[in-house]
Amino acid sequence: MQNRVAERPRIDFVAQAPGRPARVRWLPAAVILVLAGSTARAQPAAANPAPLPLLTKARTAHDMTSEEGARGYPVLLRAVVTYYDPYIDPRHGALFVLDETGGIFVSVPRQPVLPLHAGTLIEIRGVTGGGDYAPIVDHARIRVIGESPLPMAVPRAGLAQMMTGEVDGQWVEIECVVHSVRETATNIILDLALRDGTVTAATLRQSGEDYGRLIDARVRIHANVAPFFNTYLQLAGARLFFPSMAQVQVEEPAVSDPFGLPGRTIGSLLRYEPNTTFRHRVHLRGRVTLQWPGTSLCIQDATQGLCAQTAQTTPAGVGDLVDVAGFPAGGGFAPTMTDATFRLAGTGQPIVPVRVTAAQALRGDRDSALVQVEGRLIGQDHTGVEPTLAILSGNTLFAAVLPKTMTGDAAPHLSEGSRVRITGICSVQVDAQQVAMGEGVLRPASFRILLRSPRDVVTIELAPWWNRERSLAALAVVVVVAMSVFAWVVLLRKRVSEQTRAIALEKERYRSLV
């Protein structure tokens, strides 16, 4: 990478490791070198340590094992900043730099905020550290040299490549469709759909920037790759950091009004469409069958039912006509929709549920539709995230699930053994291991019913008086009585034995007197 340096005053400062007091010192270069020497002497030394070579390339420092990086190789890099963010991680600031060989993460404190931005050319003196996942530069001393443009020729990466760890910390290009935009106090987080999966990308929030216009746009983004890892420092996922909208190139802009898209039927979703690289938003119209505000909205049209994932909390009554715009997605038995928004299009009569047996529900042709099924209540759990009822219908066991917000006293408490009628949305689950390999057809493995309120559970036959609870109570009484009788018999026999011994002693005494 060729760097063009703009002449400007040099700024020296020290970036200490997280957890130590951060101190910024505006000192001449000679003093910085003295401090560097004293810090080196302060490092714990082994007996007769072998000298470690000086690393002057970012890729060399990065491409070693974490155990080797933890030995503290001295590092001297001349690199350009690709991302600096003091807010994104509560433990430390996030600083990625790039030289002609590659990129690496540099550990810096959260405070004070350093005078760095994407394009700042810096000199870094420090040592290698093991890092949370891969080697990093630790105990960094940074000297600002000037400015340098970020490289335009950037290698392309996909999610599968990110999940190998090969491009960890590197400056890459991705092509994707933006699905949603989330905001925090300091950052913007984009949910992105790549060709081979989904990933998030974070950037510093810029005032006056319209990030919402990116939703459903096809874009190219230059960003640094960072890992998600577990407590064993094992790779669990990937995420991206890009410095600003200057690194976002819109290839295909989004439509201004998603509800202006041509209307489609639910039954037409995810069918084969030639020359489709990315799936964009679609527009559906249907009647509401269920709403869990901020979580799900289920609708039904003349062809099929569908449940959309949505964070929108606008009230929608059962039977209301709504327009829904979102991204169709598979993964289950029937299509669903992610990152959806909706608007009311009219009012209407609620849809009449279809009465089915459990065996009919397992066929899958009523998935995401409003159904009614009868069964016997055999268990209930009101302590979990979603209150759940266990229903046995014939030989089929299924769950009836209430909204997450309906906990405690709001959830229905029914007598186990009662026969109930359940009304709700049929949600079919599949077992990927049961896929018919010859046909490629998913087969339903189970189903559950999503309830709208406690009124969706109607008792049609009370539990028999002699039920499990009463049987257990009666058994407990019998056990207590039996134990009491046994104790009384033991006590009585003890008293009889004592009286017998007393009579025998009296006889012996009488004989002695005679």
Is the pLDDT confidence value at 476 over 90? no
Distances (CA, A) of 15 to 20, 72, 98, 109, 326: 10, 16, 18, 6, 45
- Give Cα 18 distance to the centre of its chain: 27
pLDDT digits (tens, 9 = 90+) for 75-128: 999 999 999 999 998 889 999 999 999 999 999 999 999 999 999 999 999 999
What is the Cα–Cα distance from 197 to 278, expressed in whole angstroms? 11
DSSP for 237-265? EEEEE--SGGGEEEEEPPPS-GGGSPEE-
Least confident of 314-318, 363-367, 378-382: 378-382
Q: Determine the average pLDDT of the residues in 406-418.
A: 65
DSSP 314: -
What is the Cα–Cα distance from 176 to 178, expressed in whole angstroms? 6
Sign for the CA dihedral angle at 28, 34, 40, 43 comes to negative
Q: What angle do CA 214, 218, 221 make, to 5 degrees?
A: 80
> What local confidence, expressed as pLDDT, does residue 5 receive?
37
pLDDT digits (tens, 9 = 90+) for 328-378: 998 788 899 999 999 999 987 889 999 999 999 999 889 999 999 999 999
Least confident of 89-103, 247-261, 440-454, 500-514: 500-514
Torsion of the alpha carbons at 294, 299, 305 and 307, rounded to the nearest 10:
-10
Is the pLDDT confidence value at 461 over 70? yes
Let me know: does 131 contact 65? Beta carbons within 8 Å: no
What is the pLDDT confidence band of residue 466, given thresholds at 50, 70 and 90? Answer: low
Sequence letter at residue 221: I
Q: Determine the average pLDDT of the residues in 185-207.
A: 95
Q: Which residue has the higher pLDDT, 172 or 403?
A: 172
Q: How many CB atoms lie within 10 A of CB 209?
A: 13
Residue 420: partners with Cβ closer than 8 Å, 6 or more residues away = 374, 375, 376, 377, 389, 391, 414, 457, 458, 459, 460
Q: Where are the alpha helices (DSSP H) in 46-98?
A: 58-62, 66-69
What is the Cα–Cα distance from 285 to 287, expressed in whole angstroms? 7
Residue 124: partners with Cβ closer than 8 Å, 6 or more residues away = 75, 76, 77, 78, 79, 97, 106, 137, 140, 141, 142, 143
Sequence letter at residue 408: G
pLDDT over 70, % of the chain? 85
> What local confidence, expressed as pLDDT, does residue 280 receive?
94
> What local confidence, expressed as pLDDT, does residue 325 receive?
97
Q: Rg of the chain over CA atoms, in angstroms? A: 35
Q: Which residue has the higher pLDDT, 185 or 15?
A: 185
Distances (CA, A) of 403 to 218, 254, 313, 336, 406: 35, 34, 14, 18, 5
What is the pLDDT confidence band of residue 411, given thresholds at 50, 70 and 90? Answer: low
> What local confidence, expressed as pLDDT, does residue 439 receive?
64
Residues facing residue 95 across a β-bridge: 84, 106
> What local confidence, expressed as pLDDT, does residue 488 receive?
81
Is the pLDDT confidence value at 8 over 60? no
What is the pLDDT confidence band of residue 16, given thresholds at 50, 70 and 90? Answer: very low
- Give Cα 499 distance to the centre of its chain: 77
> What local confidence, expressed as pLDDT, does residue 473 receive?
74
> What local confidence, expressed as pLDDT, does residue 144 receive?
96
Judging by DSSP bridges, how do beta strands 321-329 and 305-309 pair with one another? unpaired
Q: Which residue has the higher pLDDT, 441 or 464?
A: 441
Average of per-residue pLDDT values in the chain:
85
> What local confidence, expressed as pLDDT, does residue 29 receive?
37
What is the pLDDT confidence band of residue 222, given thresholds at 50, 70 and 90? Answer: very high
pLDDT digits (tens, 9 = 90+) for 142-181: 999 999 999 989 999 999 999 999 999 999 999 999 999 9
Q: Which two tokens stand for residue 232?
A: 């064993």
pLDDT over 90, % of the chain? 63
What is the pLDDT confidence band of residue 255, given thresholds at 50, 70 and 90? Answer: very high
Distances (CA, A) of 71 to 40, 124, 168, 326, 418: 13, 18, 20, 50, 67
Is the pLDDT confidence value at 395 over 70? yes
pLDDT digits (tens, 9 = 90+) for 233-243: 899 999 999 99
Distances (CA, A) of 158 to 129, 247, 335: 27, 17, 24
Q: Determine the average pLDDT of the residues in 213-228.
A: 96
Is the pLDDT confidence value at 48 over 80? no
Is the pLDDT confidence value at 305 over 80? yes
Let me know: does 162 contact 199? Beta carbons within 8 Å: yes
